[in-house]
Amino acid sequence: MELQEVCIQLEVPLGYREGGRLDTYLARFLSPTSRTKIQQGIREGRVTVNGVIVQKPAYTVQAGDVITLRLLRKPPVELRPEPIPLEVVYEDPYLLVVNKQAGLVVHPARGNRSGTLVNALLHHIGSGPVCFEEEEELPDDETVGLSMVSTGPTETRLEAPRPGIVHRLDKDTTGLMVVAKDDETHAGLARQFEQRTIARTYLALVWGVPNPAQGRIEAPIGRDPRNRQRMAVVPEDKGKRAVTHYEVLEALPAAALVQFRLETGRTHQIRVHAQHIRHPVVGDPIYGGRAIRYGPVTAARKAFYEQLFSRLSRQALHAHTLGFRHPRTGEWLHFSAPLPDDMAWALEKLRCDPL
């Protein structure tokens, strides 16, 4: 992202008698810029006092000084409403529930400001563009129509603004998500996720038939040390606690329809745990699901699965049910979304695997 140069001029009041350091004085006016960054800018010659470059952060500020700064800043963040198709399952003045389609990224991130669920939500609620330069300049909920609480880590908040988003699904995972329209509703939903009182189940097609047919997977998850773009089961001191419950709903010749329930909510949790027990999600391109994992690798089966994967171009994972207590009314709400067409078709095909 190309940085933009901004010039700021400050005039020290004639009544100033504190005799403070230049970096400390500037920090008063440049919040939330850190003092370390201010010192770096001074040393780089980006600050002049009375027209003369000053490169010492400890310079003593005098009454009447004219201080000019040349700052490098990221361009303003702008999120624009986009008419992306959106299946709204439920909506009221405080929240909405959507059935997310495959291929839709949930929230904008660095280098990806368009084509996301957030852009679709802004269009759905009739918002104008969301534009801001600093976290303190975020528009309020009433202006946007969605909660503007940041759900990202502090250091990434400006890189990944997430209006309304309380939780997320992977780009190619389909299914139910709840979205908050105001901060109070957002906080109430986030608290339920934190306390694990949200009821969520997922449906997946996995390779092979897990044995036993019901079980609990507890294995810590962290970044894969061999590939930082992936997650993996790692030693306890390298990852976070992760617990997944599963139940086989239908055994197929070389696969199974499985219901998963999350006890924790780690990135790629179901996909990683499924691979960990050697039953990766069918079609998963990252965790070993796009190759024949059970049964003979014959010409007939190769052709069979080439056809299957031409239609099922993603991991066969779907957020099937979602239940929660409405933060404003106290009512228990529960929703379900049927298997999307590609997974329903794949299920029928897998019942006919030519073993």
Residues with catalytic annotation?
170
CB 210 within 8 A of CB 270: no
Interstrand relation of 227-233 and 221-224 (parallel, antiparallel or unpaired): antiparallel
SS (H, E, C) the chain: CCCEEEEEEEECCCCCCCCCEHHHHHHHHCCCCCHHHHHHHHHCCCEEECCEECCCCCCECCCCCEEEEEEEECCCEEECCCCCCCCEEEECCCEEEEEECCCCECCCECCECCCEHHHHHHHHCCCCCEEECCHHHCCCHHHHCCCCCCCCCHHHCCCCCCCCECCCCCCCCEEEEEEECCHHHHHHHHHHHHHCCCEEEEEEEEECCCCCCEEEEECCEEEECCEEEEEEECCHHHCECCEEEEEEEEECCCEEEEEEEECCCCCCHHHHHHHHCCCCECCCCCCCCCCCCCCCCCHHHHHHHHHHHHHCCCCCEEEEEEEEECCCCCCEEEEECCCCHHHHHHHHHHCCCCC
Structure tokens at 152: 């990202």
Euclidean distance between the first and the last CA atom of the chain, given in angstroms as a whole number: 52
d(C-alpha 25, C-alpha 62), whole Å:
11
Interstrand relation of 214-218 and 332-336 (parallel, antiparallel or unpaired): unpaired
Residue 144 phi, psi dihedral angles, 5° rounding:
-90, -40
